[in-house]
Structure 1
Amino acid sequence: MPLVLRHQVADHEAKERLIAQSGLNWTIVRPPKLGNGRATGRFRHGNGIRARSLLPTLARADVAAFTLDQLSDTAYSRKAVALLP
């Protein structure tokens, strides 16, 4: 897949590099495919976590809640974090 999406991947990596070099306090949240369901609060977050299904989906509401929590939580300050169901 990287060969097919090489330009998109390169753009994505360049954007993250700019953010990391900005000197700002940032958190990059990397969710899987987004769904429209209600927030469940049942998801995993971290680095090196693996999907349990081929096409994992997480509710936008869960991503939003996690992202808002990062305003007062410094665990992922100046880091990128994956979210998975």
Structure 2
Amino acid sequence: MRERHPQRGRRDAGGRHSEADRDNQHRGGRLRWPFRTLIAPILQRHILRDRTAQEAVIRSSGLPDWVIVRPAELTDGREGRGLRRMTEPGEEPQPTTVSRASVAGFLVSLVSDRSYDGKEILISKA
């Protein structure tokens, strides 16, 4: 008989799944089969179409100073020590997660750092 994960399947007094079980359902972008294969592609198609249109507007705006920042999956953690910055994501491993605090810190740093002007950048934790 297979041993169960000690935290998985536990419910609180109200019959709700434990926090550990909810974390296991959605960790590191690995979603359960029905959502990953049926629902996500439908939702993402519209999101990607909108994002592509928005980015085209920015690129064709004629503005000299713009940066498109694409964060990896957002978390509520603290600001990390380092960020992986990818201007060409196909050349490096896929990003995992990044905290909202780290994204905010990076956006603030762009005020004085002009090295990414006119570029698209994908950020994730280092």
Structure 2 residue runs without a partner (length 5+): 1-36
The answer to whether the aligner puts 1:78 opposite 2:118 as a matched pair is: yes
1:21 aligns with 2:21: no
| TM-score between the two structures when normalised by the length of structure 1 | 0.82
Output the CA distance in 2 between the equivalents of 1:41 and 1:26: 25
Structure with the greater relative contact order (CA < 8 A, sep ≥ 6): 1 or 2? 1
- Count of aligned pairs between the two proteins: 82
Larger-gyration structure (1/2) = 2
Q: Which runs of 4+ in 1 moved over 4 A?
A: none
Give the aligned CA root-mean-square deviation in angstroms: 1.9
Gaps of 5+ in 1: none
| Greater helix fraction, Structure 1 or Structure 2 | 2
1:16-74 superposed Cα distances (whole Å, 9 cap, x missing partner): 0001111221111110111111112222002223226xxx2211111111111111111
Q: Identity of aligned pairs, percent?
A: 34
TM-score after normalising by structure 2: 0.58
**Structure with the larger strand share:** 1
Q: How does 1:1-85 map to 2 (within 5 A)?
A: 4=42, 5-24=44-63, 25-47=65-87, 48=89, 49-51=92-94, 56-85=96-125
